[in-house]
Structure 1
């Protein structure tokens, strides 16, 4: 979009300079035939731009085809100046085009030819050039500086485009990772709990149904990009208490200290930690009991999930624990794992 708007600006500049040059030629006091010839050649110059130069600018071509365009443009501009010096005004639109279809170093020589063509032709005709030589040299210097500026702007725009593409790619990757963690922490764990419960006796069916309903709420919350459904309309203490009461392994929940309001991001981390820890206990620990303790201290909040199972052993951390660490890093928290007559997952978040 930006490129299109920029090209429109250059098209307007070229049209204005061409139209002004044509008016100056036609109102000149010279011979009618010379004026008409010069105007016709300048019109051909405009057609050459529409037929060839405009395509190069749209495609951002900067190679030998730019030399072809510059040569064709000079071939119509030079004789137009020969028949009427007022055609020189078209330079204000032609010189920028040279830099837009050629690399800066290549464009210097064609630009010099364009600028000095009126001087050379006027001198060859035995007349005094309308543009003094020092002024022509000044135009050459300005044009080269102008071309360098255009080149720098184009490079910066290209770099900005590449940077935006990289940012977009990283954003997509981060979003995919977030959704993977969300699905693992909610849907996958919920279904695992359902399977574990249904593998037991009939009394577990009602608990499995409650877990399935909770999982359905999680799915809807994910789709709506809301906080975890256990937090919906309740405190983090209540949300953790419900999760613990629905665990397939007999579990207890305690709160130590005076509860204080926490950031939503911290609430989410605490809820996800308990979900992941309880799911791991059900899948791997063979524990008979779990104790969940939420502690409020003056400088932070901690959450410990301890079971009496077989511990972590030498098994490497899985996706769930890695996702838990990633979540904690986002809120400045830490994760500690210990094995002492069972397993302990300790989460600490500073306030």
Structure 2
């Protein structure tokens, strides 16, 4: 139940208790003038809550405004009880109001005044209180315990709301990061390859068309939230071989060791790492050739992309490499970079 629904429930309780008190006052045996006066004061009490107390409760901040509400409510409740003892029934709605508008420690004194009001007025009139003093004390103790429970529930609901809000914010942030990485690893890299091919004016237009079609499949894969399209219906080795054959500069691909089945998450990380490394080689290395090697060992699998270009130099890691490291962390893998006679990107994932 959210805060709005909870408040509506309390409003219904207040209205029912107030209406019941008015009916009991009107059927009292007092004079007609006393009954009408008590009923009118209870109506004023309800209007005070609607005009001021409801705003205090709705704010959800227990402070001095709750004391103002309590004073105004007591100012109309006490004379109503003086004219008719049946107005005491309104306490079923008034006491919870105090604990919703005031801190628990602050609410105790106003609550005790409300509960003792019928006793004090009856005693002042020289009559015997209908409710024994021990009974009044018992009601005070129960009301304080009830108020503490209300306060705890309100705090827990607030903490739960803050936690859900935080989880939602983190989920959105993680999803944005995932989509950013997916777009960078697929569409941006693919279109960069197309631009590079066209700028180089290579005669093999079919290569550019294949790259464009590959990126169209990637876009559809992103929308469908499935595995990367190069892996659809094929092995990781085949996907890497197609990726290397469509890369520029010319790239070779080979497999060392006996291939073993890998989890889809590991295959995706290796494929994205190869895409990022090949894109970086095309953009920044000035290389004439790139070698892609997939190794299967007894303890893990590794992917190395090495070119004969100018290396990494002192340039800081860009978004792509940071995204690659983040992906590898999710599967327990590591990333190593080397600039010995070109650039080398080595990805290792334990099995």
Q: TM-score, normalising length from structure 2?
A: 0.91
Maintained 8 Å contact 1:63/1:103: yes
DSSP-derived class of the 1:347 partner: strand
Distance, in Å, in 1 between the alignment partners of 2:202 and 2:252 is 23
The corresponding residue for 1:262 is 262
CA RMSD of aligned residues (A): 2.2
Once the two structures are overlaid, the 10-residue window that deviates more, 78-87 or 117-126, is: 78-87
The corresponding residue for 2:95 is 95
The CA deviation at 1:293 is: 1.8
The corresponding residue for 1:238 is 238
Matches within 5 A, 1:12-23: 12-23=12-23
DSSP-derived class of the 1:153 partner: helix
Per-residue CA deviations over 1:223-242 (Å, capped at 9, x if unaligned) read 33332221222222211111
Q: TM-score, normalising length from structure 1?
A: 0.91
Per-residue CA deviations over 1:64-119 (Å, capped at 9, x if unaligned) read 43233222221221122112222212111101101212233332222121111011
Once the two structures are overlaid, the 10-residue window that deviates more, 331-340 or 308-317, is: 308-317
The CA deviation at 1:125 is: 0.8
Per-residue CA deviations over 1:172-224 (Å, capped at 9, x if unaligned) read 22222222222221222112212221232442433122212222222232233
Once the two structures are overlaid, the 10-residue window that deviates more, 21-30 or 207-216, is: 21-30
The corresponding residue for 1:34 is 34
Per-residue CA deviations over 1:264-300 (Å, capped at 9, x if unaligned) read 2212111111101111111222323222222223432
Maintained 8 Å contact 1:198/1:204: no
Per-residue CA deviations over 1:97-153 (Å, capped at 9, x if unaligned) read 012122333322221211110110010011111122222222223323332332233
DSSP-derived class of the 2:127 partner: coil
The corresponding residue for 1:53 is 53
Once the two structures are overlaid, the 10-residue window that deviates more, 72-81 or 204-213, is: 204-213
Matches within 5 A, 1:1-351: 2-351=2-351
Once the two structures are overlaid, the 10-residue window that deviates more, 310-319 or 231-240, is: 310-319
Aligned length: 351
